[in-house]
Amino acid sequence: MALPDASGDVLSEMDVDAFRRLFPLRFFETHLVKSTRPDGRSLAEARETSSALGAVASADGSALVKIGSTRMLAAIKMEVMTPSKESPDEGCIAIDFHMPPICSPTVRPGRPAEAAPVVSKQLSDTILRQVKCLSCCSFCGMINLKELSLISGKAAWMAYLDIYCLDADGALFDAALLSAVAAFSHLQIPVVSMNDDGKVVVLSGDHGGKEPVNKGKRKLTLSSIPLSLTCLLHKNYILADPTAEEESVMETLVTVVLDSSGQLVSLYKPGGPVLAYTSAIQDCVALTRQRARELQTILDEVTSGMEVD
């Protein structure tokens, strides 16, 4: 039997899994020329997405979101603070994104993942956006911080939003943002009153004769919900909603965030080896527009399910 002299012969005899591990880029490119991906999706197709509300009983609002096998758990805890002098009638939102060691083989305890603070910052920028556009109108962000006020100058809500990545398989920001939005839509603000020491306490069922200070303000109004899609650029291909493997092989990511009215909220292209032309960016925005509609339907379904209960 003749020795295989050409590398092509070696490849043809090679096991698919071995090929995938040894030549990941070529493995993906053989798929891409056929306009498909190893998991059977077309290039512009996002993975199956689902959401469930109220997963954490100890929080005031929570949501679990799944995009493919990427999984995010977001929970909001409401605490009381004294508002700052500059904005006596505004509350605060603190957003933190965590990647615990359970979520990925690359994260080890004591050494936080590099991606976590980046996603955390992107989330804060996207959700707390109104701070930057006070000039255009009285309010145009997702959440009006004035709704978090309890007693002007004395007490306001501090909403701690913590998002945990339970399983990291790419498109972390998209899943995190969706879980954050879902958690805010599930949020039930506790009914509270001021006690004699000037502290704010939760009222139990019978109200104890006290007048609640936030009657009828148990839900936040979410105007203009931001939704996002991450795309991966490789040569002339645009892959929507990449998996962790795709992200590690082809490194150029573009994340587009649009609000409910279809306006651009933010666009991140954190470097990468591929330089994008305007047309590629426009394609990404178009894909995001389509994806945002899908996500909006998913959100509407879970929130309407909640109201029935």
Partner 1 sequence: MAGKGGAAPSTYSPSPTTQKTKSRIFGNDDVDWVRSDGREFHQCRPAFFKTGAVNAAAGSAYAEFGNTKVIVSVFGPRESKKAMMYSDIGRLNCNVSYTTFATPVRGQGSDHKEFSSMLHKALEGAIILETFPKTTVDVFALVLESGGSDLPVVISCASLALADAGIMMYDLVTSVSVSGLGKNLVIDPILEEESYQDGSLMLTCMPSRYEVTQLTITGEWSTPKINEGMQICLDACSKLAVVMRACLKGPDSTLEE
- Provide the binding-site residues for partner 1, judged by CB under 8 A: 55-59, 62, 69, 71, 73, 75, 77-84, 86-87, 90-96, 98, 100-105, 108-109, 120, 124, 128, 131, 145, 158, 160, 162, 164, 166-169, 190, 192, 199-202, 244
Cα–Cα distance for residue pair 201/209, rounded to 1 Å: 13
Give the residue with the Cβ less far from partner 1, 98 or 289: 98
> Considering the complex, what minimum distance in angstroms separates the CB of residue 42 from partner 1?
22
Give the residue with the Cβ less far from partner 1, 109 or 216: 109
Give the residue with the Cβ less far from partner 1, 138 or 304: 138
The pair of three-digit structure tokens given for residue 265, joined into one six-digit string: 């909220």
> Considering the complex, what minimum distance in angstroms separates the CB of residue 134 from partner 1?
12
> Considering the complex, what minimum distance in angstroms separates the CB of residue 40 from partner 1?
16
Q: What is the DSSP string of 119-188?
A: HHHHHHHHHTGGGGGTTTSS--SSB-GGGGEEETTTEEEEEEEEEEEEE--S-HHHHHHHHHHHHHHH--
What is the pairing mode between strands 92-98 and 155-167?
A: parallel
Give the residue with the Cβ less far from partner 1, 77 or 289: 77
Give the residue with the Cβ less far from partner 1, 173 or 237: 173
Cα–Cα distance for residue pair 189/214, rounded to 1 Å: 9
> Considering the complex, what minimum distance in angstroms separates the CB of residue 264 from partner 1?
22
Give the residue with the Cβ less far from partner 1, 53 or 192: 192
Q: What's the alpha-carbon Rg for the chain, to the nearest Å?
A: 23
Instruction: Name the nearest CA neighbour of 173 among 133, 119, 132.
Output: 119
Check if the beta carbon of residue 190 is closer than 8 Å to that of residue 200.
no
> Considering the complex, what minimum distance in angstroms separates the CB of residue 33 from partner 1?
27
Inter-axis angle of helices 172-186 and 278-308, nearest 10: 30
- What SS3 state is found at 102? helix
> Considering the complex, what minimum distance in angstroms separates the CB of residue 50 from partner 1?
15
